[in-house]
Amino acid sequence: MLALLPVLGTAFAAAVAMAADPIKANRTVLFHSHNDYVHQRSVYDAFDHDVYSYEADCWWNEEAQKFYVAHTAVSIDPSKTLQTQTLDRVLKIMEGKYSDKYKSSDPDTFLKDPANKPTSSPDWYKYYSEGFGGVRPLQVVIEIKSGDGGSSWKHIVEALEPFRQRGWLTKFENGKIHYGPLIVVGTGGTPFNQMISQSKRDYFYDCPLGSLDSNSQYSSTICPIASRSYVDVPESNLGLTPPPPKSVIHYHDMIAQAHQYQTTARFYGILPANAAKYDDFNMLLQQGADWLNIDWFEDAEAYGA
C-alpha cells in the first residue's frame, strides 16, 4: 500500500499542472448545492450565489418526530433539522421574506403564466433553466439516509404541507406534470415503489443516471433529474486526474440517455478540492450535463453568467 503513495502523488501533481480554467457554457448552467446543510447559512448562502437546488441528508428520529440533517449518524446535531435548515428557509425565500432579490417575481407567476400548461412530456431542462414568468424554480433534494424510507417518507410528505397549501409544488396528476415554483425530489432511501404507485403526487424521484433502461417505470413524469456518482463511471480515474478520453465516451452516453428520457443529468462526487475539478466540470458541460454538483459557491461564480 505504501508503495502506491509516490504514484498517487505524481498523478496528483500532474493534475495540478493540467487543471483548466472554467469555460463559459453556451447555455444556462444549473447548480446543485451538495450537502447544503453544512454551510453556515444553509439555503441562504446558496441562494445568494444563484444556486436554486438544495440537498438535505435526512435521518428520522422517531422519538423526536423529526428529520435531522447530517452526512453520517455520528455527526447529527439535534438543533439542525430538515425543517429549520431547509424547508423553513425555502419557504421564506418564496414568500419574499428573505431577500428583495426574489420579491419582484411572485411564485404565483408559475401558475398564471400561459406557457405553463400540464404536459405528459415535460421539458425539464427548460423548466429549470428558464422557469415560467421569468423566475427560476427552486428545488429541494431529500436523501433519506436512516434506512427507513419506507416508513419515514410519509413524514416528508407531511412536512411539505405549507407549500402544498399555497399551490407551489410541482405535481403529477392525471398522467401529466403541472409545473410549480418548487420541486421536491427524493433520493437515497426514498421508496421508489411507494412513490410510483401514487396516481397523484407532488414529489419526484432522482433516477439512476446511466441505468434508465433498467426499469420500465423510469420516465420524465417520475424523474426530473437522474444522478450518478462521478467516480462510478468507468475509466474516471476517481477524478484525481483530468478525465481521460476513454471515460468521456461513458459520460456522453449517460447524458445522452438522460436526454432521451427527457430528464436532466447530474454527476456527484467530484472532490471539491481536487486540482482537476475544472477539467471535470468543463468536460461535463461540453458533453451536455445539465447540472454542476458543487460544494463551494465560488464554483457557481466561476461558471455563472
Per-residue cell: 139: 428545488
Q: Is residue 287 part of a domain?
A: no
pLDDT per residue rounded down to tens, the chain (305 residues) = 333 333 334 444 443 445 689 999 888 999 999 999 999 999 999 999 999 999 999 999 999 999 999 999 999 999 999 999 999 999 999 998 887 766 556 788 888 888 889 999 999 999 999 887 777 899 999 999 999 999 999 999 999 999 999 999 999 999 999 999 999 999 999 999 999 999 999 999 999 999 999 999 999 999 999 999 998 999 988 878 889 999 999 999 999 999 999 999 999 999 888 888 999 999 999 999 999 999 999 999 999 86
Q: What is the pLDDT of residue 115?
A: 84
For the chain, the domain total comes to 1
Q: Which range of residues forms the domain containing residue 182?
A: 30-225
Per-residue cell: 264: 436532466
Q: How many Å apart are CA 53 and CA 46, to the nearest integer?
A: 8
Q: Is residue 235 part of a domain?
A: no
Q: Is residue 91 part of a domain?
A: yes
Q: Is residue 200 part of a domain?
A: yes
Q: Is residue 125 part of a domain?
A: yes
**Which among 162, 222, 227, 214 is positioned nearest to 188, based on CA atoms?**
227
Q: What is the pLDDT of residue 233?
A: 95
How far from chain centre, in Å, is Cα 1?
36
Q: Tell me which DSSP letter residue 99 carries.
A: -
Identify whether the C-beta of residue 54 lies closer than 8 Å to the C-beta of residue 33: yes
Identify whether the C-beta of residue 201 lies closer than 8 Å to the C-beta of residue 188: no
Q: What is the pLDDT of residue 6?
A: 35
Q: Is residue 218 part of a domain?
A: yes
Q: Is residue 244 part of a domain?
A: no
| Dihedral angle over CA of 101, 297, 258, 22, nearest 10 | 110
Tell me the pLDDT tens digit for each residue of 51-108: 999 999 999 999 999 999 999 999 999 999 999 999 999 999 999 888 776 655 678 8
Q: How many Å apart are CA 156 and CA 71, to the nearest integer?
A: 18
pTM (two decimals): 0.91
**Which among 25, 30, 37, 87 is positioned nearest to 53, based on CA atoms?**
30
Ordered alpha helix ranges (H), 61-220: 82, 88-94, 100-103, 109-112, 124-130, 149-159, 161-165, 192-196
Q: What is the pLDDT of residue 8?
A: 37
Grid-cell match 401558475, residue found: 111
Q: What is the pLDDT of residue 101?
A: 66
Q: Is residue 103 part of a domain?
A: yes
Q: What is the pLDDT of residue 305?
A: 64
Identify whether the C-beta of residue 266 lies closer than 8 Å to the C-beta of residue 289: yes
